[in-house]
Amino acid sequence: MSAYLIGHMTVKDTNKWDEYRKQVPGTLEPWGAKLIFRGQRSEVLAGEHHHTYTVVIQFPDQDALKGWYKSNAYQALVPLRSEAAEMVLVSYNE
């Protein structure tokens, strides 16, 4: 069963954000992940949502998603991520 990572982000530092975004795809590849959607919020139609950007990444399963997140390759990017943006990451099962 596929698993999905949904990230909601608000960029704090565009240069660091660009650097982070360039490095993430290399960390996803070994886990069989596929970028489904990346975009900028255009309008909140109901409720409140404060983040500007969203990303959706598909993984083969929840084990692959958790493996990627805990991997040394991705964890090495976490300090840069924290400097670059405020982020909420949530995993979902299909």
What is the rounded distance in angstroms from the CA atom of residue 49 to the CA atom of residue 91?
18
Q: Would you say the pTM of this structure is higher than 0.75?
A: yes
Indicate if the alpha-carbon torsion angle 19, 86, 52, 91 is positive or negative: positive
Residue 21's CATH number: 3.30.70.100
- Please write the tens of the pLDDT for every residue from 39-94: 999 999 999 999 999 999 999 999 999 999 999 999 999 999 999 999 999 999 98
Residue range of the domain that includes 59: 3-93
pLDDT in tens, 11-40: 999 999 999 999 999 999 999 999 999 999
Number of domains in the chain: 1
